[in-house]
């Protein structure tokens, strides 16, 4: 049986699993769906055409599913889809899509810390750690196992590759390749490859050596990206799946890649 505080507002039409907890003075909008085990703490707000899966947790004063801030919004059926086991800390804001039929999406096991923001039409993967006051502008695409430092800002339409790390206060205006660590405001760039993430997530020594060599070729030789890709293609490391993923990510970039 759902545990609903008597002061919470549950609008008619909202769909709540039997095993949901909603705290004091929380608000659940009429087009919201909450999966089993989800906890909405006191004074939190879930609104819009929003779907939360199982075992999510929304902390006080967060707003999940709010209307897009994009001035191109003209109404329509837009929304937000969230997977399972995500955590949204205090004052987090996650907005729905902009064009009719579009959704902002988040996968599973993401940890979004206080005061962070995910804007309209972002597509977020799994196992993201987003430190306090970090922010995605619209249409950002983020892979899996990414770590964002405090106050990181991501420009609209950027892509963030798997197993990358963005240091605190970084200003991201280009795509961030997988397995890399970027840092900086005025001169943001790749500073290292993400050895710790690769070790923690069970990558082989062969994978780690290959990514280390690719990092050296891409960022320490006097080559542009195309020349570095050509050189890697002649090397044994260039055949490694992680390195192939890295090269393909950079080749497919529309905004340019670090």
- pLDDT tens-place values along the chain, 258 residues long: 789 999 999 999 999 999 999 999 999 999 999 999 999 999 999 999 999 999 999 999 999 999 999 999 999 999 999 999 999 999 999 999 999 999 999 999 999 999 999 999 999 999 999 999 999 999 999 999 999 999 999 999 999 999 999 999 999 999 999 999 999 998 999 999 999 999 999 999 999 999 999 999 999 999 999 999 999 999 999 999 999 999 999 999 999 999
- SS3 of 40, please? strand
- The strand pairing partners of 159, in sequence order, are 141
Residue 234: per-residue pLDDT: 97
- The angle at the Cα of 133, spanning 132 to 139, to the nearest 5 degrees, equals 115
Domain boundaries, the chain: 3-157, 198-251
Quote the CA–CA distance of 114 and 79 in Å, as a whole number. 22
Specify the CATH number of the domain 198-251: 1.20.1180.10
Quote the CA–CA distance of 230 and 228 in Å, as a whole number. 5
Residue with tokens 């990181």: 152
**Per CATH, domain 3-157 is 2.160.10.10:** yes
How many other C-beta atoms lie within 10 A of the C-beta of residue 230? 12
Cβ–Cβ under 8 Å, residues 3 and 15: no
Q: Tell me the pairing of strands 93-95 and 45-46.
A: unpaired
Cβ–Cβ under 8 Å, residues 123 and 142: yes
Quote the CA–CA distance of 37 and 57 in Å, as a whole number. 9
Residue 205: exposure state from Cβ atoms within 10 A (0-12, 13-18, ≥19): exposed
* Phi and psi at residue 231, to the nearest 5°: -65, -45
Residue with tokens 């290959």: 210
Quote the CA–CA distance of 104 and 124 in Å, as a whole number. 8
- The strand pairing partners of 45, in sequence order, are 27, 63
Catalytic residues: 120-121, 138
Residue 2: per-residue pLDDT: 85
Residue 224: per-residue pLDDT: 97
Cβ–Cβ under 8 Å, residues 82 and 100: no
Cβ–Cβ under 8 Å, residues 145 and 163: yes
Residue 37, both tokens: 């085990």
Cβ–Cβ under 8 Å, residues 80 and 104: yes
pTM, full prediction: 0.96
């Amino acid at each position: 049986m759902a545990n609903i505080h008597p002061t919470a507002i549950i609008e008619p039409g909202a769909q709540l699993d039997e095993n949901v907890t909603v705290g004091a003075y929380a608000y659940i909008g009429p087009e919201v769906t909450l999966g089993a085990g989800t906890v909405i703490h006191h004074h939190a707000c879930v609104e819009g055409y929003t779907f939360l899966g199982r075992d999510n947790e929304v902390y006080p004063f967060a707003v999940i599913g709010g209307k897009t801030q994009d001035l191109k919004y003209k109404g329509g059926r837009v929304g937000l889809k969230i997977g399972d086991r995500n955590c949204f800390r205090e004052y987090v804001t996650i907005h729905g899509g902009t064009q009719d039929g579009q959704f902002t999406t988040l996968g599973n096991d993401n940890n979004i810390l206080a005061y962070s923001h995910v804007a309209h039409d972002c597509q977020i993967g799994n196992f993201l750690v987003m430190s306090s006051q970090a922010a995605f502008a619209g249409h950002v695409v983020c892979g899996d196992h990414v770590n964002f430092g405090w106050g990181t800002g991501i420009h609209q339409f950027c892509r963030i590759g798997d197993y990358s790390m963005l240091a605190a206060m970084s200003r991201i205006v280009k795509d961030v390749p997988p397995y890399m660590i970027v840092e900086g405001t005025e001169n943001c760039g790749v500073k290292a490859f993400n050895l710790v993430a690769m070790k923690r997530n069970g990558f082989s020594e062969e994978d780690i050596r290959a990514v280390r060599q690719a990092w050296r070729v891409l960022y320490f030789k006097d080559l542009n990206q195309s020349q570095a890709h050509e050189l890697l293609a002649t090397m044994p490391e260039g055949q490694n799946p992680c390195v192939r993923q890295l090269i393909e990510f950079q080749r497919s970039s529309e905004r340019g890649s670090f």
